[in-house]
Amino acid sequence: MIDLHSHFLPEIDDGSGSVEESLNMLTESKRQGVKACVATPHCTLHRPDDLERFLLNRGNAFERIKAAAGDSDIPEIFLGGEVYLDNNILKNYDGIERLCFSGTDYILVELPRRRLDKRITELIFNLTVKGMSPILAHVERADSDELDEIGIWDLDIIFQVNAESFLNFSSRRRLKKIFAGGGKFVVSSDMHNTDTRPPCMLEARNISKNKFPRMTDEIFYINAANILKTASL
């Protein structure tokens, strides 16, 4: 499997609190069958120098992990970000394409925590006009009526859902409804730590094999592999 959404880089956001925790998250991911993992720390761009600062902090955190990992058995690491969809992101920030996953034009974006309106759909569409391929983070968390109202499902983008949403009945029911509407989906961990939001890709995949048998290969393997342009891992 490939994990496209995770917060394992140490001390950069509300994810891993130490290098040790980061390595534990990565080791556990590998044990579960995750072969590659994209680091997607939260990225909020309010001021013009926020992008440079984010890239610098991300690079430093990555170097710490590389140095500490040595020859530990961890997934291959790619770099990205979870970009908060702010109102005027494209007007104010040149270089946002630098937040795309390493070597690709895919960018992970997160809906704002307020009532959604059509400007959001426009914003995501504008990313595609700029040549990027947006992946919408944990779409199942947003209000379903609001998503319908703003026409989110009409966008030709990839929708990411969290592995933990497979684990209980009510969130699984929500997934079922979303999947029935059609679209391209990918499952990622959105892991933040080793206790309250740990990696759970394997458990999710096993449940999916039972509950969504015809989709499982596509949403756990094929779509993510196509995004990173690697063999299906």
Q: Which residues bind Fe ion (CB under 5 A)?
A: 82, 190
What does each C-alpha distance from 215 to 153, 179, 185, 186, 218 come to in angstroms?
Answer: 18, 9, 9, 10, 5
Phi, psi of 39 (to 5 degrees): -80, 120
CB of 177 to Fe ion, least distance (A): 22
- What is the bridge-based pairing of β-strands 133-136 and 106-110? parallel
CB of 137 to Fe ion, least distance (A): 6
Q: Indicate the residue whose CB is closest to Fe ion.
A: 190
Q: Which is nearer to Fe ion, 21 or 82 (CB)?
A: 82
Q: Which is nearer to Fe ion, 71 or 86 (CB)?
A: 86
Q: Which is nearer to Fe ion, 21 or 190 (CB)?
A: 190
The residue to which tokens 């704002």 are assigned: 112
Cα–Cα distance, 19 to 11 (Å, whole number): 8
Q: Which is nearer to Fe ion, 3 or 82 (CB)?
A: 82
> Tokens for 217?
């290969």
CB of 27 to Fe ion, least distance (A): 20
CB of 190 to Fe ion, least distance (A): 4
Cα–Cα distance, 112 to 110 (Å, whole number): 6
Cα–Cα distance, 214 to 124 (Å, whole number): 29
Q: How many CA atoms lie within 13 A of 24 on its CB side?
A: 14
Q: Which is nearer to Fe ion, 84 or 211 (CB)?
A: 84
CB of 40 to Fe ion, least distance (A): 6
